[in-house]
Structures are given as structure tokens and as C-alpha cells.
Amino acid sequence: MAASRGAVVLKTIKKIVVQFCPFESNVRSTRDFLVLVGSEKARMTNMNCQVITEVKHDQSEPLIDITFLDGDRLVMKGSNLTTQEMLSALQKECMAKDLQKPGAKK
């Protein structure tokens, strides 16, 4: 599993839906991402964030659908991304959202 360079912080996220077919060969990074965002340490950063797993048996492409508190969404297709690339995209969006909040230091 790829090591994260920073802590996973979910405070700007409302819901994360991770869906994959476990029998496909391209789901490793998606499953590793799920382990990281579903960890107790990550969940403690936002107790109201829902992490939903949809395990399918239809040869579908692994997909991560993230809904932020402001209603924006980030959808990542996990078949061609590494765990680190997914975490980087998530952290980049979270930091941008955190800076947009009223009263946030810039």
C-alpha cells in the first residue's frame, strides 16, 4: 500500500462513496484508498462524514465519488490512478475548500 505523506483530513467532506468489483485486477489502489479514508484516525477528523462502500459483481470500473460540504463533487476513476494520486487529488481539493471558508487564514 502506498504511504501517505500527510494525514487524511475529512473535515470539508460530507460523503465518500467507494464502489468496486473485487474480482477485477485494477482495484488495488481503490481498496487501499478506502482503507485510508475509513481508518479511525481519518474518521476522527470529521465524525459526520459518511464513508460508504459499494461492492459490486458486475466488472464495473472502480469509482470514488466524494461530496463536499458545499455540494461540490470529486469523482475519480480508480482503475488508472495510484493510491497516492487519489490522496493528492483529495488533499488538494480539501485544502482549497478549507481556504474558501469565511474567516479562514490565507
**What is the number of structural domains in the chain?**
1
CATH number (domain holding residue 26): 3.40.30.10
What is the tens place of the pLDDT at every residue in 49-100? 999 999 999 989 999 999 999 999 999 999 999 999 999 999 999 999 888 7
The answer to whether position 1 is within a domain reads no
* pLDDT for res 105: 54
Residue 35 lies inside a defined structural domain of this protein: yes
Domain annotation covers residue 2: no
Rg, C-alpha atoms of the chain: 14
Residue 106 located in a structural domain: no
CA atoms within 13 A on the CB side of 87: 22
Q: Which domain holds residue 34?
A: 14-99
In a domain, 19, yes or no: yes
- Asked if residue 69 is part of any domain, the answer here is yes
What confidence score (pLDDT) does residue 71 get? Answer: 95
List, as one string, the DSSP characters of the chain: -PPPSS----TTEEEEEEEE-TTSTT-HHHHHHHHHHTSHHHHTT-TT-EEEEEE-SS-PPPEEEEEETTS-EEEEEGGG--HHHHHHHHHHHHHHHHHHSTT---
pLDDT at 12 over 50: yes
50: which strand partners?
15
Is 26 within a domain? Answer: yes
Evaluate whether residue 38 is within a structural domain: yes
The 10s digit of each residue's pLDDT in 14-28 is 999 999 999 999 999
